């Protein structure tokens, strides 16, 4: 998460596990970024996220859990969290389209 938040942003290479309205983290396959390789074969944890308007600098993180079966749908506990994440993502996308949620596009300067 530090690499996404501090170094690279939510780039396609790290957000490539598409699961309906959300993306499952960690990434799928090997992702080489400079001298760092992100590779998580058989990693049992999933965290769900939404890249708002497909931006690399605006991400909503949802819940996640242990993937205890070969698919998310067969993982009893994770399946519920994934479905909730998809529902929240749909609501966020709809609220953005209906202008109930707006994104301030002005860049904020770092004052520290």
**Average pLDDT score over the chain:** 85
DSSP state, residue 106: S
Looking at per-residue confidence, does 17 or 92 come out higher?
Answer: 92
Q: Is 2 helix (H, G, I), strand (E, B) or coil?
A: helix
Of residues 15, 24, 1, the one with CA closest to residue 86:
24
* Residue found under tokens 């529902």: 87
Q: Please tell me the distance from the alpha carbon of residue 60 to that of residue 53, in angstroms, as a whole number.
A: 11
**pLDDT tier at 13 (50, 70, 90 boundaries)?**
confident
Q: What is the pLDDT of residues 32-63, one digit of tens each?
A: 888 878 878 888 899 999 999 878 788 999 99
**pLDDT tier at 64 (50, 70, 90 boundaries)?**
very high
DSSP state, residue 21: T
Residue 53: the pLDDT is 86
Q: What is the pLDDT of residues 81-102, one digit of tens each?
A: 999 999 999 999 999 999 999 9
Task: Give residue limits of the domains in the chain.
Answer: 2-97
* Residue found under tokens 């998460």: 1
Token pair, residue 21, equals: 């309205």
The counts of H helices and E strands in the chain are 2, 6
User: What is the DSSP annotation of 50-69?
Assistant: EEGGG-SS-EEEEEEEE--S
């Amino acid at each position: 998460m530090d690499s996404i938040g501090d170094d690279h942003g939510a780039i396609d290479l790290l957000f490539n596990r598409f699961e309906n309205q959300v993306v499952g983290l960690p990434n799928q396959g090997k992702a080489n970024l400079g001298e760092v390789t992100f590779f998580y074969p058989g990693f049992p944890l999933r965290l769900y996220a939404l890249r708002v308007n497909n931006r690399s600098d605006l991400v909503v993180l949802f819940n996640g859990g242990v993937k205890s079966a070969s698919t998310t749908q067969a993982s009893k506990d994770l399946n519920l969290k994934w479905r909730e994440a998809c529902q929240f993502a749909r609501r966020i996308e709809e609220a953005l389209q209906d202008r109930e949620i707006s994104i301030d596009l002005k860049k904020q300067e770092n004052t520290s």
